[in-house]
Structure 1
Amino acid sequence: MKPVRSLARAMLSGIFVISGARNLANPDRLVSAAKPVTDRVTPLLERVHPRLPTDTETLVRANAVVQVGAGLMLATGRFSRPAALVLAGTLIPVTLAGHPFWKQDDPVARNNNQIHFLKNLGLFGGLLLAAADTEGKPGLRWRAGHRIGHSRRSVRRAVRTARREARLAVRSASTARRLPG
């Protein structure tokens, strides 16, 4: 199953690496579409840290860098689960800014944006699956629960053994007192 997972991760990440590199090289073409979304995010960024950049072009470039980096991580299988979550996070503002089909009056443009919106929604679903994929190995939650259960059983076993040994010690002590000696 490993070759299938590796191929699927590479295929899923390809769009992010390619479009991220394009957007990094030429962010100007996206600035006007991204401006309404970045204007909404700016107050949040200023509250988080006053020195964070808030201009639209810089935010488009930052999103592109994150997409290239996380896309490469997903493609290579390095930290693929967190990378998939990061890519899913970058997809939300990109989809809202780039494909607002509900605002389109032209039926052709509306249809085109709706198709791209749904495509991105499908990518989002694939990224969520990639983020949840443990590659057939138990997840952290299961492993932690399993460890806790194992520890509880070990403690119960130790308590039973200690009780048994205490009963044996009491019996042998009482037997020793009854013997003439």
Structure 2
Amino acid sequence: MTVLRRVARPLLASMFISGGYGAVRDPARLVPVAEPVTDRVTALLAPRTSLWPEDPASLVRLNGAVQLGAGLLLALGRTPRLASAALAATLVPTTLAAHRYWTIEDPEKRAAQRVQFLKNASLLGGLLIAAADTHGKPSLAYRARSAAGHASHAVTRQVHAATGSAVDGIAGAVETTRKHL
């Protein structure tokens, strides 16, 4: 792992580790802010599965647990792409719940929440980059396409070689037959 990744990943993960720990430890303080989002998400997902917790405190704690766990994984460089994707998924509802600047009337508070919203949008961009980072190695999709291309070329060469020798054999047989006639 490069020095840049060794430094950048823990820095990117630090906010999620801290925030996730706080949400797991004391979800009640975040529930009033989270309820507009948890209510909508619960209305969408609860009818589709019996596993979905309907209690806002449980959802806040679950979101915090994912942030804490994925943040630690990212900071340690363990499954960083998966950890970054998980953090990105938790950041969206967190941002929509905590930084609803468009609902605030006071211009100063509105501006402060807009800055926090944009900070989270920037973090989301960083997480998406980290989720796509292949350490300079080709992705699995690229390797699969490349292998398929190589296999296709090999088959094409084999077909040309086989048909070329068959055509040569037929042409030789025709020529021999013509000479004997």
The alignment's TM-score, normalised by the length of structure 1, stands at 0.89
Judge conservation of contact 1:45–1:54 (CA < 8 Å) in 2: no
Distance 1:60 1:119 in 2: 20
CA positional deviation for 1:48: 2.5
Residue 67 of structure 2 is aligned to residue 67 of structure 1? yes
In the alignment, what sits opposite 2:120? 120
In the alignment, what sits opposite 1:39? 39
- % of aligned pairs identical? 45
Judge conservation of contact 1:74–1:80 (CA < 8 Å) in 2: yes
Give the letter aligned to residue 161 of structure 2: T
In the alignment, what sits opposite 1:95? 95
CA positional deviation for 1:25: 0.6
Unaligned runs of 5+ in 1: none
Give the letter aligned to residue 93 of structure 1: P
Aligned-residue CA RMSD in angstroms?
Answer: 2.1
For residues 104-143 of structure 1, the aligned pairs below 5 Å read 104-143=104-143
Distance 2:128 2:88 in 1: 7
More displaced stretch, 144-153 vs 100-109: 100-109
CA positional deviation for 1:162: 1.2
CA positional deviation for 1:88: 0.8
Distance 1:150 1:35 in 2: 53
Distance 1:39 1:177 in 2: 87
Aligned pairs, number: 180
CA positional deviation for 1:99: 0.9
In the alignment, what sits opposite 1:11? 11
Give 3-state SS (helix, strand or coil) of 2:57's partner. Answer: helix
Judge conservation of contact 1:20–1:64 (CA < 8 Å) in 2: yes
Residue 78 of structure 2 is aligned to residue 78 of structure 1? yes
Distance 2:165 2:63 in 1: 65
Distance 2:46 2:177 in 1: 82
Judge conservation of contact 2:42–2:52 (CA < 8 Å) in 1: no
Give the letter aligned to residue 140 of structure 2: L
Distance 1:114 1:174 in 2: 84
Give 3-state SS (helix, strand or coil) of 1:52's partner. Answer: coil
More displaced stretch, 29-38 vs 164-173: 164-173
| Deviations 1:105-148 (CA, angstroms, capped at 9, x unpaired) | 22232222111111101101101111111111112222122111
Distance 1:115 1:121 in 2: 10
CA positional deviation for 1:77: 2.0
Distance 1:45 1:71 in 2: 25
Give 3-state SS (helix, strand or coil) of 1:78's partner. Answer: coil
Judge conservation of contact 1:14–1:71 (CA < 8 Å) in 2: yes
CA positional deviation for 1:15: 0.7
Give 3-state SS (helix, strand or coil) of 2:105's partner. Answer: coil
